[in-house]
Chain A
Amino acid sequence: MPNATSFSPVDATPAASIEPPALSVDGLVKRFGAVTAVSGLTFTIPAGATVGLLGGNGAGKTTTISMLLGLLLPTEGRIEAMGVDMLADRYRALPRMNFSSPYVELPHRLSVRQNLRVYADLYGLDLVGDRIAALAAELDLTDFLDRPSGKLSAGQKTRVALAKALLNDPDLLLLDEPTASLDPDTADWVRTYLERYRGRTGATMLLASHNMGEVERLCDRVLMMKRGRIVDDGGPSDLIDKYGRKTLEEVFLHIARTPHGDPHPDDPKAAA
Chain B
Amino acid sequence: MTDDALSPEPARARRRPTAGMLPHSGPVRRIGAMVLRYWYLLRGSWPRILELAYWPTVQMILWGLITTHLLTNSTWIAQAFGVLIAGVLLWDVLFRGQLGMSLSFLEELWSRNLGHLFVSPLRPHEWVLSLMVMSLIRTLIGIVPAALLAIPLYAFNVFDLGPALYGFFALLLATGWWMALFITGLILRFGLGAESLAWLFVFLIAPISAIYYPVDVLPVWGQWLAYALPPAHVFEGMRAILFDDTIRWDHLGWALGLNLLYLVLGGVFFLQQFRHARVHGSLLQQGE
Contact = CB atoms under 8 A, between A and B. Distances in A.
| Residue from the set B37, B45, B111, B120 with the largest chain A CB neighbour count within 10 Å | B120
Interface string B10-24: 111111101111111
Given A117-B36, A139-B5, A96 B20 contact: yes
A171 B278 CA distance: 24
Contacts of B16: 169, 201-202
Contact of A15 (B14, B41, B111): B14
A74 B20 CA distance: 25
Contacts of A82: 19
- Give the interface SS of chain B, mostly helix, strand, loop or mixed: loop
A71 B115 contact: yes
A3 interface: no
B244 interface: no
Contacts, number: 174
B22 A104 contact: no
B160 interface: no
Q: Nearest 5 pairs between A and B by C-beta?
A: A124-B25, A121-B33, A104-B115, A202-B15, A107-B111
B29 A104 contact: no
B30 A121 contact: yes
Given A15-B14, A63-B281, 15 more contacts: A66-B284, A71-B283, A72-B281, A98-B119, A104-B115, A106-B111, A118-B33, A119-B33, A122-B29, A122-B121, A124-B30, A140-B1, A169-B18, A189-B3, A196-B10
B26 interface: yes
A13 B15 CA distance: 8
Contact of B120 (A114, A123, A195, A201): A123
A238 interface: no
Nearest to B11: A199
Interface string A178-204: 000000011001001101101111110
A122 B278 contact: no
Given A109-B45, A202-B12, A140 B24 contact: no
Contacts of A109: 41, 44-45, 111
Contacts of A169: 16, 18
Contacts of B45: 109
A92 B248 CA distance: 48
B: contact size bracket: 35 or more
B116 A196 contact: no
Contacts of B25: 95, 123-124
A94 B279 CA distance: 19
Contacts of A140: 1-2, 4-5
A23 B14 CA distance: 18
B131 to A, nearest CB: 14
B216 interface: no
Contacts of A71: 115, 118-119, 278, 281, 283-284
A199 B22 contact: no
Contacts of B12: 11, 13, 48, 198-199, 202
Interface residues of A, number: 68
Given A82-B19, A199-B9, A124 B1 contact: no
Interface of B: 1-7, 9-16, 18-26, 29-30, 32-34, 36-37, 40-41, 44-45, 107, 111-113, 115-123, 275, 278-281, 283-284
Contacts of A252: none
A196 B9 contact: yes
A120 B25 CA distance: 10
A171 B22 CA distance: 13
Contact of A138 (B5, B34, B111, B278): B5
| Residue from the set B3, B14, B20, B119 with the largest chain A CB neighbour count within 10 Å | B119
Contacts of A185: 1
A123 B37 contact: no
A111 B45 CA distance: 13
18 contacts: A13-B12, A16-B15, A66-B281, A70-B118, A82-B19, A95-B20, A99-B119, A107-B41, A110-B37, A117-B36, A122-B30, A122-B33, A122-B121, A196-B7, A196-B9, A199-B10, A200-B13, A202-B13
Contact of A94 (B7, B37, B121): B121
Contact of B14 (A13, A73, A119, A137): A13
Nearest to A100: B116
A192 B29 CA distance: 34
A201 B13 contact: yes
Contact of A107 (B9, B20, B21, B107): B107
Contacts of A121: 29-30, 32-33, 36
| Residue from the set A108, A122, A140, A198 with the largest chain B CB neighbour count within 10 Å | A122
Contacts of B21: 92, 95, 124
B278 A193 contact: no
